[in-house]
Amino acid sequence: MEVYLDNSATTKVTEKVRDKMIQVLYEDYGNPSSKHIMGMKAEQYMKEAADIIASTLKVDSKELIFTSGGTEANNLALIGTALANKRRGRHIITTRIEHPSVHQPLIYLEQLGYEISFIPVDKSGKIIKEKLYELVKEETLLVSIMYVNNEIGAVQDIPEIIRELRQRKKDILIHIDGVQAFGKYRIHPKREGIDLFTFSGHKIHGPKGSGVLYVSDKVKLNPMVFGGGHQRGRRSGTENVPAIAGIGQAVSELYEDFDHKINKMYELKQTFLREVSRLEDVTVNGLVAECTDDFDMEQLKKTAPHIMSVSFQGVKSEVFLHALEDRGIYVSSGSACSSHHPQPSVTLTAIGLPKDLMDATLRFSMSDKTTMEEIQYTLANIKELLPILRRYTRK
């Protein structure tokens, strides 16, 4: 049996996404900037994708920029906004648990003379709001917060946070990394007060190499790629039409039967956490305190539906990962985007997880395609392998 529980790293494209991309690659392969019928067909695919995404987010399609993924979208959002709005302020606030595609651009801006402040988080990965509000000052230009943490599934109270921030500074700009949230929550940037919002195609059953940045029409943004003035001059370069068509198709399927999909994932998460937490010396990460009471569903829904972070004391995560792989179960030892770098996880560090547990943590991440049979198969193998691996480690 093959069980793929690494959906926070990437997802399998749907059949309709695959078919749409093949159509564009092999038949409607024109350059969207060309004036002939083939170019017009390619341009139409882009327009259709933009209209689908804009309708889902309830924004104007002209406020969307297609990118090569979430990393580029986050870089463009942060650096492009900072450079275009220097006179408004050079102070940026973010959290201690951001993805490297947010953290690294901010370090770059710090080298250019911007001041970067970091908000601490509690043991569940929720930001300490009072600390955030205390950081806001006249020079604060931008606040960047991820909606859902990619390692432990902590969810931030974004609408509440934005309301409070705007009471302190009306013109503060808000960037939300929505890569792990889009498709798991109904997100409407204008209604929530989000100025810049990013998401990635390959996390929602779309293709790798596709992403979207929403930029409110009120926000000034400098481009980072210069050339032919594509996408209204905000991102030059011939557009990747197959990927754009693919991400549009993925979004069109994303919210079909939405409540059923999300409730199903929460039920699978509840089953998994109840069973795995009964094992000796096992710690579940990223839960609010109330969730530990037999994983009550109401409390569990304060976390993301698809991500589960579990530490198995006494077993190195990489050892356990490969033992599960031998049984056809695919999981992650952390964020796949940074797993090739040996430094400790910034998220697990920020929540205060002891070093020995950091080295023993696995991330299990589902999609709406995950089944109860797959969860039960995974649990059975964890129960069988854990005591064996612990005995081996002790030797």
CA distance 245 to 239: 11
Q: Please list the residues that pair with 143 across neighbouring strands.
A: 93, 174
Work out the angle at residue 213's Cα, subtended by the Cα atoms of residues 47 and 79, and round it to the nearest 5 degrees. Answer: 140
**What are the strands of the beta sheet with 64-67, ordered from one edge?**
64-67, 211-215, 196-200, 173-177, 140-146, 91-95, 115-119
Q: By CB neighbour count within 10 A (0-12 exposed, 13-18 middle, 19+ buried), where does 301 fall?
A: middle
Q: How close are the terminal C-alpha atoms of the chain, in Å?
A: 31
| 15-254 has CATH 3.40.640.10 classification | yes
Taking only the tens place, the pLDDT of each residue in 245-273 is 999 999 999 999 999 999 999 999 999 99
Res 290 pLDDT > 90: no
| 3-10+256-394 has CATH 3.90.1150.10 classification | yes
User: Minimal CA–CA distance to 302: which of 290, 293, 311?
Assistant: 290
Q: By CB neighbour count within 10 A (0-12 exposed, 13-18 middle, 19+ buried), where does 213 fall?
A: buried
Arithmetic mean of pLDDT over the chain: 95
Topology agreement, domain 3-10+256-394 and domain 15-254:
no
Q: What is the pLDDT of residue 106?
A: 98
User: Minimal CA–CA distance to 64: which of 194, 232, 201, 227?
Assistant: 232
| φ, ψ for residue 347, nearest 5 deg | -70, -50
Q: Please list the residues that pair with 309 across neighbouring strands.
A: 285, 363
Q: What is the pLDDT of residue 128?
A: 97
CA 267, 269, 271, 273: dihedral to nearest 10 degrees? Answer: -150
User: Minimal CA–CA distance to 93: which of 136, 47, 35?
Assistant: 136
Confidence category of residue 336, pLDDT binned at 50, 70, 90: very low
Taking only the tens place, the pLDDT of each residue in 135-176 is 999 999 999 999 999 999 999 999 999 999 999 999 999 999
Where in the sequence numbering do the catalytic residues fall? 337
Q: Which CA distances in Å does 245 have to 22, 144, 187, 198, 238?
A: 10, 28, 21, 17, 14
* Strand 329-330, strand 115-119: pairing: unpaired
Query: Per mean pLDDT, which range of 9-13, 93-97, 316-320, 339-343 is the poorest?
Result: 339-343
Residue 24 is encoded by which pair of tokens?
Answer: 């564009």
CA distance 318 to 250: 32
Average pLDDT over residues 28-36: 95
Res 15 pLDDT > 60: yes
CA distance 1 to 42: 40
CA distance 300 to 275: 15
Q: Supply the pTM of this predicted model.
A: 0.95
Domain residue extents for the chain: 3-10+256-394, 15-254
Q: Which CA distances in Å does 332 have to 2, 264, 293, 294, 339?
A: 15, 22, 26, 25, 9
Taking only the tens place, the pLDDT of each residue in 173-202 is 999 999 999 999 999 999 999 999 999 999
Confidence category of residue 295, pLDDT binned at 50, 70, 90: confident
User: Minimal CA–CA distance to 323: which of 266, 388, 376, 264?
Assistant: 388
